Amino acid sequence: MGSILVLGGAGYIGSHTVYELIDAGEDVVIVDNLLTGFKEAVHPKARFYQGDIRDRAFMDSVFEKEDIDGVIHFAASSQVGESMKEPLKYYSNNLCGTEVLLESMVAHGIDKIVFSSTAATYGEPESIPILETDRTLPTNCYGETKLSMEKMFHWTSVAHNLRYVSLRYFNACGAHPNGKIGEAHNPETHLIPLILQVPNHQREYISIFGTDYDTKDGTCVRDYIHVNDLAQAHILAMNYLRNGGKSDIFNLGNGVGFTVKEVVETAREVTGHPIPAKEEARRAGDPSTLIASSGRAKGILGWKPQYADLKVIIETAWKWHQVHPHGYKAD
Ligand code: UDP
């Protein structure tokens, strides 16, 4: 069997997937332009090519040098706020990048791709938990480009010999329990790493964005899913395609929602630090509640998340952030 090409394999979810793929005995090739990924996150046993998926000659050269069986695609820009300020960056990196990638895959007869999509494709949900068949009406440019990428896969799969699985994640979090890789963004915007900056003496308090939502304590409810569980889902999705599975879309979440205040409280328990919190105004574009129905991923892919407990998830994140308070830069 050929190798798995992981695009964006030096990023947060990509690097965790590479570690799990190599543990599962796969031969892995990584492409990453290192704009948001880190060389230190590249698994030492993976073959690494630094380059951009928008560069057709570069992508062709990778497919020509390597014997690629399937592609797992994480190489995209992923910050909601930035996407509203710089939409064309998102169209370029996410849509144009995927178009070039697909041209190159089709030209080289690579017929399987697993794709990292997002709950942001749904926008404000009509009902909870969210099903894959629910309306998709993104409220930001990031979600819009991810939805357009899904549609590009669909129409390409109709015309060419190519099948895809799109995985719509909810709130990815946590770190590999081996302590070697974890979550590092610059700038950081996600709740759990921001909370952990307080006990790490990098910020004095955590801001709570909005306390007047229609939820049990007034703060937003999110579905937090451990990054290793996401990694496992990508491996299962690739094996599903290898076994002849048809193109499909799956949600990936815990199915359990936690409020912002519950996340802060759990982080206090894990770290033993009082973590002061300051209640602030709502953040623009935040839906009140996002919880996934992951029944299809469990039933069809055989996915079994191992980190359902928020405390365990935050413990893995804390293990990483304590040793790497400045991400990979301090290494
Ligand atoms: N949030 C917060 N304070 C912060 C960062 C995030 O209260 O400093 C809230 C945010 O409004 C949302 C939740 O935490 O309700 C999760 O936000 P995050 O950016 O981690 O993920 P998102 O759900 O936006 O993908």
Tens-digit pLDDT profile for residues 44-76 = 999 999 999 999 999 999 999 999 999 999 999
Is a pLDDT exceeding 50 seen at residue 331?
A: no
The H-or-E segment that residue 191 falls in is helix 191-196
pLDDT greater than 90 at residue 213: yes
At residue 329 the predicted structure's pLDDT band, cuts being 50, 70 and 90, is: confident
Specify the pTM.
0.97
Q: Where in the chain is the domain with CATH 3.90.25.10?
A: 191-222+255-330
Lowest mean pLDDT among 17-21, 76-80, 91-95, 109-113: 76-80
Protein residue whose Cα sits closest to atom 4 of ligand 1: 191
Residue 68: C-alpha distances to residues 28, 37, 43, 162 (Å): 9, 22, 18, 14
CA 331, CA 50: separation in Å to the nearest integer? 20
Q: Is 186 helix (H, G, I), strand (E, B) or coil?
A: coil
Given a cut of 70, is residue 330 above it in pLDDT? no
Q: Are strands 258-259 and 221-222 parallel, antiparallel or unpaired?
A: antiparallel
Residue 95 clears pLDDT 90, i.e. is over it? yes
Mapped to the 3 state alphabet, what secondary structure does 267-288 carry? HHHHHCCCCCEEEECCCCCCCC
286 lines ligand 1 (CB under 6 A): yes
Cβ(52)–Cβ(93) below 8 Å: no
Please give the positions annotated as active site. 142
d(C-alpha 32, C-alpha 34), whole Å: 5
Q: How far is the CA of 292 from the centre of ligand 1 (A)?
A: 16
pLDDT score recorded for residue 186: 84
Q: How high is the mean pLDDT of the chain?
A: 96
3-state secondary structure of 232: helix
What is the whole-number distance in angstroms between the Cα of residue 89 and the centre of ligand 1? 22
Q: Sorting pLDDT into bands at 50, 70 and 90, what band is 187?
A: confident
Q: How confident is the model at residue 258 (pLDDT cuts 50, 70, 90)?
A: very high
CB 308 within 8 A of CB 316: no
Q: Which residue intervals of the chain bear CATH 3.40.50.720?
A: 3-173+224-252
- Give the gyration radius of the chain's Cα atoms: 19
- CATH architecture of the domain 191-222+255-330 equals Alpha-Beta Complex (3.90)
Complex prediction ipTM: 0.98
Q: Does the C-beta of 141 come closer than 6 Å to ligand 1? A: no
In the reported structure, the alpha carbon of residue 10 is separated from the centroid of ligand 1 by a whole-number distance in angstroms of: 24
CATH of domain 3-173+224-252: 3.40.50.720
Which atom of ligand 1 lies closest to the CA of 283? Answer: 11
Cα of 63 vs centre of ligand 1, distance in Å, is: 38
* Nearest ligand 1 atom to alpha carbon 119: 25
Phi-psi sector, 84: left (phi>0), alpha (psi -120 to 50), beta: alpha
